[in-house]
Amino acid sequence: MGMITDSQFHVLAVDDSIIDRKLIERLLKTSSYQVTAVDSGNKALEFLGLLNEDEQTNSQVIQVNLIITDYCMPGMTGYDLLRKIKESASLKDIPVVIMSSENIPSRINRCLEEGAEEFFLKPVQLADVNKLKPHLMKGISKEIKEPNNINNKRKGLEEIDSADRTRTRLNDTIDINNDGLPDLEIV
Amino acid sequence: MNSNQLQHQVLYMRRSLFDQGYLDSEQLIQLEDLQDDANPNFVEEVVSLFYSDSARLIQNIEQTLSNRPVDFSRLDDILHQFKGSCSSIGAKKVKDACSQFREYCNAGNAEGCSSSFQLIKQEYETLRRRLESYFQMVKQAKAA
């Protein structure tokens, strides 16, 4: 056919909860993505071939277009996994999204600063998964989002509004108040 | 009951689950939206997983509570997991009971944890009964 279809996008989902893995898998498949779901950061790295120390001779070339991971996991947290991915020459350009049941501003900020593209509050919904498309389509380049919540200018670290459910990173800056513009003050 | 009556029963049971605070309507609808012809039993599959996962977590809590000294940190981890799965299916009352447990945990109050645990088990059993009846009725209505 020669056309790029959604079914070509492969998402690696990482979550220690069996229910959440089933949920995220279904959410992603509904959006026509190919999904591999694993239950730990170590299994994720294994799948990505990172645990095979010699990356050059790693013959298993697995194409992963996006990694979505839970934050709170025993052993390696989602944040640890994010760091390892960003520190890897071969993996650092894969977009990473973090999910968490807890709305903790410092946690969110840390993940976005470390290079996560988005931070989703659990339970993840279809509307959240729809936000993945731009990251998958554009690869590593970032896009400026349409301004929203212009009346909601807040400074510093804030919790995610229950209506927003997600936080996005723009280019190399942080956008905590979700108005589509980089924050000028980061407390 | 005829088909119409069964449908009414389903709606009534569903309404009750929401109104009485057992289930979060938004989350149930989210799950139902993921159901389609290719995955017709998705909601029940998730609920099934919730039952088995909850049984596991309840057993873990039981075990951890019976150890001396009480490992509050471990309890908090287990409750965090339990809360998470409650959120995923919208199990409101069970989730609230978990929150209460966690508060006692943070305060290092073993007795409070024990009594909250009884509440968790109670709410879980009630929810399970209600959900099983509900899905039973849904099946019957579909078959009619």
Query: Domains in chain B, please, with CATH?
Result: 3-143 (1.20.120.160)
Widest CA span in chain A: 53
Determine the pLDDT at residue A46: 93
- The two three-digit tokens of residue A11, written as one number: 């998402």
Determine the pLDDT at residue B22: 97
Domains and CATH numbers, chain A: 6-144 (3.40.50.2300)
- Mean pLDDT, range A126-135, rounded to an integer: 94
Determine the pLDDT at residue A160: 75
The model's pTM: 0.83
- Mean pLDDT, range B108-119, rounded to an integer: 97
Determine which of A4-18, A117-131, B16-30, B36-50 has the lowest per-residue pLDDT on average: A4-18
pLDDT band at A159 (very low <50, low <70, confident <90, very high): confident
pLDDT in tens, B22-44: 999 999 999 999 999 999 999 99
The pLDDT of residue A139 is above 80: no
C-alpha distances in Å from residue B33, one per residue of A126, B10, B68: 9, 18, 46
Instruction: Write the burial class of residue B88 (CB in 10 Å: 0-12 exposed, 13-18 middle, 19+ buried).
Output: buried
Rounded to whole angstroms, the Cα distance separating B126 from B23 reads 12
Q: Using an 8 Å Cβ cutoff, are B58 and B84 in contact? A: no
Q: Which residues of B touch A (CB under 8 A)?
A: 27, 30-31, 33-34, 36, 39, 42, 45-46, 49-50, 53, 77, 80-81, 83-85, 87-90
Q: Across the interface, do B88 and A122 touch by the CB < 8 Å criterion? A: yes
- Nearest Cα residue in chain B from A70: B84
- Mean pLDDT, range A81-86, rounded to an integer: 97
pLDDT in tens, A64-75: 999 999 999 999
- Chain B positions touching A23 (Cβ under 8 A) are 31, 34, 46, 88
pLDDT in tens, A49-62: 864 455 555 555 56
